[in-house]
Amino acid sequence: MASERKPARVATGWPGVGAALATRLAKLDIRGPDDLRLHLPLRYEDETRLTAIADAREGEAVQVEGEVVSSEVVLRPRRQLVARIRDDSGTLTARWLHFYPAQQKQLEPGRRLRLFGEVRGGFFGDEMIHPRVRPVAAGEALPTSLTPIYPTTAGVAQSALRKLIARALEGLADEEYLPQAVLVELALPTFTEALRTLHRPPPEIDPAALESRTHPAWRRIKFEELLVQQLSLRRAYNARRTRNAPVLPARGHLSGALLASLPFGLTGAQQRTVAEIAADLAAAHPMQRLLQGDVGAGKTVVAALAMMQAAENGYQAALMAPTEILAEQHYLKLQAWLAPLGIEIAWLSGSRGKRERSAALARLGSGEVLLAVGTHALIEDPVALPRLALAVVDEQHRFGVRQRLALRDKASGGSHPHMLMMSATPIPRTLAMTHYADLDVSVLDELPPGRTPVVTRLVSEARRDDVVARIRDACVGGRQAYWVCPLIEESEALQLQTAQDTFETLSASLPGLRIGLVHGRLKSAEKSQVMAEFAAGRLDLLVATTVIEVGVDVPNASLMVIEHAERFGLAQLHQLRGRVGRGTAESACVLIYAHPLSETARARLKVIYEHADGFVIAREDLRIRGPGEFVGARQSGVPMLRYADLEQDGELIAPARALAERMLAHAPERTDRLMSRWLAGRLGLLRA
């Protein structure tokens, strides 16, 4: 498992490895014999057989053995070392464009050599470029296992690494930490057997199973890796349960009042989630809960009810959102709900006037105001939330660990606040199990009633005018629309220019419509002005950059146009489409695309066209992109997987999780030893 940390400048060695070598090995994440043993081959070469030179086929990697007939350094077309090798069947040319004097010596005529490399047809007959060479005595035995090729780095030669690993394997004690019954059930070899097989596969092994990493030896290693990941996440989870948090029993007078004043009743999923959170808040250890719900599932009201539970107990609650537009919208919505109940909310954003800001800060600092809503401004220095008992982070994947921890640390005294993380980026089950095993998860798997499904259309850029005409008709008919400008990731300046240009051309072609423009560079006051106008129905069309991507909630808007949709990621398209279909009007999302479409862009558009369910889209996204990128945003010390593949090895996750629970409960010592085999000295670095 690779954890996210910079290689140490100077590493200390261990028996047989000096400091200089240790420093170079550290670049490979190798810090001791255990790491060497778990440094597994990328692939193998078969040196257990010899091929006659005459039988070597072009493009094939083979090993030949013969005598050097001649060798010389030639200067044309460039300086190179050229040797002719002969066996009973024919001759072959070997060529090196980079070489050392020692190599020249090795190639003296009459020497007997084994060459391993790919044969190519050259101008002067068959040749090998940069073959691997080994001098041998006549009749010397061939190796009995495949030759491993390890991932390596500058300054650590393949052959040196191979020796180090071989030595580490010799010192491998036969320590099996997994119960025999599990090995039998999953048909896995022991750890020692698996390592021996992977580092030195016998020649008769199924090469396909080795290459696809489906061989039982590979599965054993991957299972153990998944197990260790589960163990470390569950340990972190358990450790948190030993900390103190304010006990917030559900008293119900404020949450009940809020519920009664809502213009709607909660869905079944919302009720279940609210109950799960309420129970967590009443416990004496900090809640760590992820609330997942597709775009529009109604997470905000769930958060508001949790915040009421803190306030009912005289404690503070804070809600942090990643964009100013979203934070302000939350503030306005909460205020509309809570002002009639006489509950005050402090609103903190980077852009508020100094005086208003310091007044808000003073009242939060004294504990007089219990609720705070804001952007990152909430975690800035002068903000004090002495009675903070609940921290809610909306669109949590937009924040780094550090920021989430900073919010947590706003509470004073020895106790930790309860944390509620919300995300509309649904995570496929396998990913959730591996990456959120340290959290409790609530899922809003039901949309509020009365939503009409959004119709998605794919339209080529050539028909942009038709789309503009459609917008005119819709807006004249009283509907509201978004027009999302093309994403230009390389340049913010260009992005702004494009938004401005789009706004101008649309204004010119749609006279009579009230059109607004919102982008990231607008001053906050201007931004909220535009959003307020749109929300109030005083604008028909809102031209926007992706600042409206998350959270924005204007139920009357029913048409979404996304230009150059092929440039957007799947999660982004899903989020943007989720801005419409929030009211009762029939809604549509028009994706304008331009040619040429890359294969992945085509695949993404197909997925978004065919599917509306966020979980299905996330699964497809995972398939298209791979998990690495997918969870990149988590940026935490969660040990990432080096060998296990969530798609291929998904079926190992549930057993790994079950075994982790059992080991933590019944075999703490074995758990320690197993974890240190994989994580050695880095356990402390893994997570806060």
Residues that bind ligand ADP (CB under 6 A): 264, 266-267, 270, 293, 295-301, 424, 448, 551, 553, 555, 582
Which partner from the list Mg ion, ligand ADP, none does 421 bind, CB cut-off 5 to 8 Å by kind?
Answer: none
CB 651 within 8 A of CB 434: no
Which partner from the list Mg ion, ligand ADP, none does 383 bind, CB cut-off 5 to 8 Å by kind?
Answer: none
What minimum distance in Å lies between the beta carbon of 397 and Mg ion? 12
Q: Nearer Cβ to Mg ion, position 336 or 688?
A: 336
Q: Nearer Cβ to ligand ADP, position 110 or 450?
A: 450
What minimum distance in Å lies between the beta carbon of 457 and ligand ADP? 23
* Residue 83: strand pairing partners: 71, 94
Q: Nearer Cβ to ligand ADP, position 230 or 375?
A: 375
Q: Nearer Cβ to ligand ADP, position 270 or 430?
A: 270
Which partner from the list Mg ion, ligand ADP, none does 295 bind, CB cut-off 5 to 8 Å by kind?
Answer: ligand ADP
What minimum distance in Å lies between the beta carbon of 322 and Mg ion? 10
Residue among 286, 240, 287, 308 at smallest CA distance from 687: 240
What minimum distance in Å lies between the beta carbon of 479 and ligand ADP? 17
Residue among 309, 338, 336, 334 at smallest CA distance from 321: 334
SS (H, E, C) 330-355: HHHHHHHHHHHHCCCEEEECCCCCHH
Nearest position to Mg ion, beta carbon? 551
| DSSP 8-state symbol, 17 | B
Q: Nearer Cβ to Mg ion, position 301 or 515?
A: 301
Q: Nearer Cβ to ligand ADP, position 213 or 299?
A: 299
Cα→Cα distances 63→45, 47, 53, 79, 140, Å = 9, 6, 9, 26, 14
Q: Nearer Cβ to ligand ADP, position 526 or 553?
A: 553
Report the sign of the C-alpha dihedral through residues 669, 671, 674, 678, in that order.
negative
Could you say which residues in the range 563-602 bind Mg ion, by CB under 5 A? none
What x/- string results for residues 516 through 555 when contact with Mg ion is judged by CB under 5 A? -----------------------------------x----
Cα→Cα distances 400→249, 406, 437, 625, 632, Å = 30, 10, 18, 21, 10
Which partner from the list Mg ion, ligand ADP, none does 574 bind, CB cut-off 5 to 8 Å by kind?
Answer: none
Which partner from the list Mg ion, ligand ADP, none does 301 bind, CB cut-off 5 to 8 Å by kind?
Answer: ligand ADP
Which partner from the list ligand ADP, Mg ion, none does 582 bind, CB cut-off 5 to 8 Å by kind?
Answer: ligand ADP
Q: How many other C-beta atoms are found inside a 10 Å radius of the C-beta of residue 244?
A: 12
Q: DSSP readout, 357-398?
A: HHHHHHHHHTT---EEEESGGGGSTT---TTEEEEEETTGGG
Report the sign of the C-alpha dihedral through residues 215, 221, 224, 230, in that order.
negative
Which partner from the list Mg ion, ligand ADP, none does 298 bind, CB cut-off 5 to 8 Å by kind?
Answer: ligand ADP
Nearest position to ligand ADP, beta carbon? 298
Which partner from the list ligand ADP, Mg ion, none does 553 bind, CB cut-off 5 to 8 Å by kind?
Answer: ligand ADP
What minimum distance in Å lies between the beta carbon of 448 and ligand ADP? 3
For residue 448, give the 3-state DSSP assignment.
coil
What minimum distance in Å lies between the beta carbon of 300 and ligand ADP? 3
CB 270 within 8 A of CB 302: yes
Which partner from the list ligand ADP, Mg ion, none does 267 bind, CB cut-off 5 to 8 Å by kind?
Answer: ligand ADP
In angstroms, rounded to a whole number, what is the distance separating the alpha carbons of residues 150 and 40?
A: 7
In angstroms, rounded to a whole number, what is the distance separating the alpha carbons of residues 530 and 532?
A: 5
Cα→Cα distances 10→25, 27, 483, 545, 553, Å = 10, 11, 54, 46, 53
User: Tokens 């949309």 appear where?
Assistant: 447
78 burial class (0-12, 13-18, 19+ CB within 10 angstroms)?
A: exposed
Q: Is 614 in the site for Mg ion (CB under 5 A)?
A: no
Q: Nearer Cβ to ligand ADP, position 217 or 443?
A: 443
What x/- string results for residues 279 through 318 when contact with Mg ion is judged by CB under 5 A? ----------------------------------------
Residue 427's region, left for phi above 0, alpha for psi from -120 to 50, else beta, is: beta
In angstroms, rounded to a whole number, what is the distance separating the alpha carbons of residues 468 and 130?
A: 61
Which partner from the list ligand ADP, Mg ion, none does 179 bind, CB cut-off 5 to 8 Å by kind?
Answer: none
Q: Nearer Cβ to Mg ion, position 152 or 300?
A: 300
Residue among 369, 373, 319, 374 at smallest CA distance from 350: 374
Q: Nearer Cβ to ligand ADP, position 297 or 487?
A: 297
Q: Nearer Cβ to ligand ADP, position 329 or 403?
A: 329
Q: Nearer Cβ to ligand ADP, position 299 or 564?
A: 299
What minimum distance in Å lies between the beta carbon of 298 and Mg ion? 9
317 φ, ψ to 5°?
Answer: -135, 140
For residue 204, give the 3-state DSSP assignment.
coil
Q: Nearer Cβ to ligand ADP, position 289 or 416?
A: 289
Q: Nearer Cβ to Mg ion, position 35 or 294?
A: 294
CB 29 within 8 A of CB 685: no
What minimum distance in Å lies between the beta carbon of 545 and ligand ADP? 20
In angstroms, rounded to a whole number, what is the distance separating the alpha carbons of residues 536 and 557?
A: 11
What minimum distance in Å lies between the beta carbon of 349 and Mg ion? 17
Number of residues that bind Mg ion (CB under 5 A): 1
Q: Nearer Cβ to Mg ion, position 32 or 551?
A: 551
What minimum distance in Å lies between the beta carbon of 576 and Mg ion? 13
What minimum distance in Å lies between the beta carbon of 300 and Mg ion? 5
| DSSP H/E element including 44 | strand 43-45
What minimum distance in Å lies between the beta carbon of 15 and ligand ADP? 57
What minimum distance in Å lies between the beta carbon of 454 and ligand ADP? 14
Which partner from the list Mg ion, ligand ADP, none does 425 bind, CB cut-off 5 to 8 Å by kind?
Answer: none
Report the sign of the C-alpha dihedral through residues 153, 156, 157, 158, in that order.
negative
What minimum distance in Å lies between the beta carbon of 556 and ligand ADP? 11
CB 310 within 8 A of CB 281: yes
In angstroms, rounded to a whole number, what is the distance separating the alpha carbons of residues 608 and 562?
A: 12
Residue among 178, 213, 199, 208 at smallest CA distance from 38: 199
Which partner from the list ligand ADP, Mg ion, none does 297 bind, CB cut-off 5 to 8 Å by kind?
Answer: ligand ADP
What minimum distance in Å lies between the beta carbon of 296 and ligand ADP? 5
Which partner from the list ligand ADP, Mg ion, none does 555 bind, CB cut-off 5 to 8 Å by kind?
Answer: ligand ADP
Which residues of the shown chain bind Mg ion in the complex (CB under 5 A)?
551
